[in-house]
Amino acid sequence: MIKAKTDVNDLQRKILDLKKKQNTALLVHNYQIPQIQDIGDFLGDSLGLAKTSRQLKVKAIILCGVKFMAETVKILSPDKKILLPVREAGCPLADMIEPDELMKLKSKHPDAWVVSYVNTSAEIKALSDVCCTSANAITVVRNVPVKKIIFVPDRNLGEWVKMNVPQKEIILWDGFCIVHEYFSLKDLEGARKIHPDAELIVHPECRKEILEGADSVLSTSGILKRAKESSAKKFIIGTEEGIIHRLKKDNPQKEFYSLGNAKICINMKKITLEDVYASLKEQKYNIELNVDMMNKARVALERMVKYV
Ligand code: 13P
Ligand code: SF4
Which residues, in sequence order, are bridge partners of residue 172?
151
User: How far is Cα 154 from Cα 157, in angstroms, rounded to an integer?
Assistant: 6
Per-domain residue ranges of the chain: 5-92+268-288, 99-176, 180-258
pLDDT digits (tens, 9 = 90+) for 255-301: 999 999 999 999 999 999 999 999 999 999 999 999 999 999 999 99
Q: Measuring from atom 8 of ligand 2, which residue has the nearest CA?
A: 91
User: How far is Cα 295 from Cα 282, in angstroms, rounded to an integer?
Assistant: 28
Q: Which atom of ligand 2 is closest in space to residue 239's alpha carbon?
A: 5
With a 6 A CB cut-off, is 156 part of the ligand 1 pocket? Answer: no
- The pLDDT of residue 7: 75
- The pLDDT of residue 6: 60
Pick the CATH number of 180-258 from 3.90.550.10, 3.50.50.60, 3.40.50.10800, 3.40.50.300: 3.40.50.10800
Query: Residue 175: pLDDT band by 50, 70, 90 thresholds?
Result: very high
Give the distance (Å) from ligand 2 centre to CA of residue 96: 12
Give the distance (Å) from ligand 2 centre to CA of residue 22: 30
With a 6 A CB cut-off, is 219 part of the ligand 1 pocket? Answer: yes
User: How far is Cα 23 from Cα 307, in angstroms, rounded to an integer?
Assistant: 33
Whether pTM exceeds 0.75 = yes
Q: From the centroid of its chain, how far is CA 214?
A: 20
pLDDT digits (tens, 9 = 90+) for 112-164: 999 999 999 999 999 999 999 999 999 999 999 999 999 999 999 999 999 99
| Architecture per CATH, 5-92+268-288 | 3-Layer(aba) Sandwich (3.40)
pLDDT digits (tens, 9 = 90+) for 92-117: 999 999 999 999 999 999 999 999 99
